[in-house]
Structure 1
Amino acid sequence: MKRISKFLFYFILIFLLASCNSQVNKIGNPNANVESLATGKESPKPYVKDVGNVDVLNTHGGVEGIERMQRFYDDMKSGVVSDLRIVSYTIEGDPIVTDLKYNGESLVVKNDNTRDEYGSGEIRTIKCGHLIEEINPTNTTYIATDCKDLPTGMNQILKLEYNMSQQDLFEIDLNYGEKLENEINTKTGEIKKENGTTEPFQMADNVKQELYKRLVFANYLDDKETFTSCDRPNAIKYNLKVYINGGDREISWKDCDESLYGLKFTKIANYIIAQTEQLQTEKPDVIVQGYVLERKDNTLLIGEELNKMDYEWMKDEIKQMDMNSFIFDFTELEGVPIEDYQPGDKIRATIDGSIRGSKPGRAKVKEIKKIN
């Protein structure tokens, strides 16, 4: 029960912080990845008082320096000796430092809790074998595996959440052009063009989910003081206003800004603009992705959006607790050759029609495949 409370706690925390920063969904394309951040540029290293050489800063869902995490993961896959320092803040604002060191063969994880007033006050070093990047439609997690002296042999290093459906409100207003004469506003459902004409526009939910993901990876809630001013004649200006829950966040830049943030947000703006030129599918395919928890009554019980660590602790808990105790969604899939699947298999299924009910929902499968 302690573990369940912890997950509920973090869920509520992320929800509240998104509202205070003033700022899948079951539909969409869950395999649509954010464009590579390998631009040859980096954001400035984060500053944390009394902690030096920080590469990645995780502030309750807002992550600064994610490109360094991705590069470390790529280096490990290539056998390149690397190190990384991650700082994650507790709710009380205390930094927890995680140092990763890869020597070309194995990974050493050092967790330093000495600055956490309510923590163990210890430094613990764990030897692990590998690092995996697990991408789900609404979250991405980096997990150290083959770790000694851990119950599941795994240690969660970093997790990014980008589930648009958990937000009460998510809309955008993009103005762009030499004089900001064009506008795309999903809040009013309109496009205004430089010639003065106005057209209706409704962004599809799967597109909004992908847009939200890209904004989270760009750490859009952070103060972007690192945008580079540029004075190129006829530069395209951008002004992006993001409405999130009860607040908003406004970002302005130009297309000649060659900083990492400038490049990221120009790509995001171009993605938004491109969507106005494409047909927005009103009812895209409903997708279920997750781990098989049980086979019963000719159905597969799926825990949606789980990562490998989530599955390991949930596989036993699910037999003892009501599903409403969990923050995750569950779906029973019908029309599946259940003999082809085992608990622990990760699947992606396209639904025939819609999902009926909840906790668990029930749905007929049109297509299904293993993805692990």
Structure 2
Amino acid sequence: MRNKIHLYLLVLIAMIVSSACSYTSEKAVLNGDIVNMHGPVYNYPAFESFLESMEMEEAATVRIANYTLEGDPTLYNLSFQDSTIHLEIDRSKNKNRGKDPVKTNMTCTDLLEEEGQQLFIYTLKGCDSSAESFTILSVSKEHVDEHVH
């Protein structure tokens, strides 16, 4: 009986600790992150504000949380200052990151918006990494009703 109580307590503690370490999409939305859930994108106006600040050459920061189908986030921490875009890719909360490094940093010169038939695609260009360009966000037009071009 005593061992069962210890086992239940251990399981309860493990559940509390694991839930405290997760970064759910709900938590990301409440924190003001731009949340990409493979369809809906939440807090998109915050990304538009970041783009406007860049156009005005004002320093700005924003976080994009891209969620896998399993619900694991990869965080893109973007900052703009002095005509330079800094990107930190944080995979620390993604259990399925494979052999990718936990964190990667790069500096880029441009953020381009491409408008396709169904998507707006935002890509960093002129990056100082192995990939000269890096897509940070794809937004379905049907999920951005108020997007103005």
Structure 2 length normalisation: TM-score?
A: 0.72
CA contact (8 A) 1:115 1:121 kept: no
Question: Is 1:103 the equivalent of 2:84?
Answer: no
Q: Find the partner of 2:59 among 73, 81, 105.
A: 81
Residue type matched to 2:113 in 1?
E
Superposed counterparts of 1:100-249, under 5 Å: 100-119=78-97, 120=100, 122-151=102-131, 153-162=132-141, 213=142, 216-218=143-145
What are the superposed Cα offsets for residues 9-54 of structure 1, whole Å, 9 maximum, x if unpaired?
xxxxxxxxxxxxxxxxxxxxxxxxxxxxxxxxxxxxx7326x9834
CA contact (8 A) 2:32 2:46 kept: no
CA contact (8 A) 1:76 1:104 kept: no
State the alpha-carbon separation in 2 of the partners of residues 103 and 113 from structure 1: 24
Q: Give 1:121 shift.
A: 5.1
State the alpha-carbon separation in 2 of the partners of residues 89 and 48 from structure 1: 12
The alignment-based identity, stated in percent, is 22
State the alpha-carbon separation in 2 of the partners of residues 118 and 55 from structure 1: 21
Q: Give 1:96 shift.
A: 1.1
Q: Which structure shows the higher helix fraction?
A: 2
State the alpha-carbon separation in 1 of the partners of residues 87 and 35 from structure 2: 16
Residue type matched to 1:109 in 2?
L
Q: Give 1:58 shift.
A: 0.6
> Structure 2 stretches of 5 or more lacking a match?
1-24
State the alpha-carbon separation in 1 of the partners of residues 27 and 105 from structure 2: 22
Question: Is 1:67 the equivalent of 2:45?
Answer: yes
Q: Give 1:150 shift.
A: 2.6
Query: Size of the alignment, in residue pairs?
Result: 120
CA separation of 1:111 and 1:117: change in aligned 2, threshold 3 A: same
What are the superposed Cα offsets for residues 239-288 of structure 1, whole Å, 9 maximum, x if unpaired?
xxxxxxxxxxxxxxxxxxxxxxxxx6xxxxxxxxxxxxxxxxxxxxxxxx
Q: State the Cα RMSD in Å.
A: 2.1
CA contact (8 A) 2:35 2:41 kept: yes
Superposed counterparts of 1:308-327, under 5 Å: none
Superposed counterparts of 1:13-32, under 5 Å: none
State the alpha-carbon separation in 1 of the partners of residues 118 and 71 from structure 2: 26
CA separation of 1:107 and 1:52: change in aligned 2, threshold 3 A: farther
Residue type matched to 1:155 in 2?
F
State the alpha-carbon separation in 2 of the partners of residues 138 and 150 from structure 1: 29
Structure-2 residue corresponding to 1:55: 33
CA contact (8 A) 2:78 2:85 kept: yes
CA separation of 1:74 and 1:88: change in aligned 2, threshold 3 A: same
CA contact (8 A) 1:107 1:129 kept: yes
What are the superposed Cα offsets for residues 312-357 of structure 1, whole Å, 9 maximum, x if unpaired?
xxxxxxxxxxxxxxxxxxxxxxxxxxxxxxxxxxxxxxxxxxxxxx
